[in-house]
Structure 1
């Protein structure tokens, strides 16, 4: 596989995770079947789509729970020490 194809595959996965986690964190709907346009080149778009579809539910859950744990830790620091930390 060419470097650009690998890049498109990676970008598809990264963008799906970013958008779906952001939607979950803000209580917004997310439809994974609405794949955004990445490239007018059919081959590049195809590899982007493969990356997009390669994201599993566990990929999303790990990031959502990680973000929530981080936010919870920040809140606890703020309660304990006041001010901004991190």
Structure 2
């Protein structure tokens, strides 16, 4: 695989992870069959699609769990120590 193809594949994974995690965190619907346009180049789009489709349910769940753990820890620290950095 060429570097541009690798990049498109990675962008497909990143885009799906970002969109699906965001949808789950906000209790919004998400349809993984609706793959966004990444490139008008068929080869680049094909690798983006492969990256998009390579994301597994466990990948999403681990990211969501991590986001929720971060939010819970941040809330607990805020309650213990108050706001930080002037916020």
TM tier relative to shorter chain = over 0.9
Partner in structure 1 of residue 4 of structure 2: 4
The count of aligned residue pairs is 85
Aligned CA RMSD, in angstroms, stands at 1.0
Partner in structure 2 of residue 70 of structure 1: 70
Partner in structure 2 of residue 30 of structure 1: 30
1:2, 1:49 → 2: CA distance?
16
TM-score normalised by L of structure 2 = 0.94
Partner in structure 1 of residue 21 of structure 2: 21
What is the CA-CA distance between 1:84 and the residue it aligns to? 2.9
What is the CA-CA distance between 1:68 and the residue it aligns to? 0.3
What is the CA-CA distance between 1:37 and the residue it aligns to? 0.2
| Structure 2 unaligned regions, length at least 5 | none
2:48, 2:28 → 1: CA distance?
23
Moved over 6 A (4+): none
CA shift digits 1:2-49 (9 cap, x unpaired)? 111111001000100000001111111000000000000111000000
| Structure 1 unaligned regions, length at least 5 | none
